[in-house]
Amino acid sequence: MTTPHNPKAGLDALLTPDNCALILIDHQPFQFAGLRSHDTQTIINNTVGLARTAKLFGVPTLLTTVVEERGGYIIKQLQDVFPEQKPINRTFINTWQDPRVIEWVKKTGKKKIVMAALWTEICLAFPAIHALGEGYEVYIVTDASGGVTVEAHEMAIQRMIQAGAVPLTWTVFSAELQRDWARTSTEAGVARLLVDHMGAVGTSFTWEQQLLNTPPPK
């Protein structure tokens, strides 16, 4: 008797720079105006940290907005991470219904899709559930997403988990891609992300570097 394979367990279930793609959905002024599940600055910080992580490791990343002419352009802090990329501006509420998004995903060749969005209960839940139904493995970044209430955010996370999505936070994404401190090509970049986006962890790391580089008194 063989044990059924669990695709959400084992080494192959973990993300690597080569096996995933990232979609960042609707981090726009209108959505931020209705955000009540999290502090706005926290979501901005985490989303930018997530985007910078993807760029550091060469993870294909797509920016997308919904009716930006009324809801506003994607926030500058995020656009600045990928200044050359024009976000796909949709009318579909469900990102996964836009043919341009599906075409982009297929061109990446990735089956593990990482997503973050505003709002969690709509702009993240709809495409996550849809993509899961089409055979993709979906990972949802819960602290780079937010809803109109705490309940709306939490219920959406539960709904997506029940559908098969895997929740994670942006710092887990960073650690999962780094995986080994012997990966020296990205080690310094990850340290920079810790300093810039991880609050007390970053300040403690900077303090540690100060102490290590201060010669003892004679």
The catalytic site residues sit at 123
Judge contact between 123 and 117, C-beta under 8 A: yes
CA distance 197 to 54: 14
Provide the 10 A C-beta neighbour count for residue 207. 10
Q: Which residues pair with 156 in a beta bridge?
A: none
SS3 13: helix
Closest listed residue to residue 78, CA positions, set 59, 63, 93, 66? 63
CA distance 122 to 209: 43
- Per DSSP (E only), the strands in the chain are 20-25, 61-66, 88-90, 112-117, 137-141, 166-168
CA distance 177 to 191: 13
Q: Which two tokens stand for residue 207?
A: 């303090």
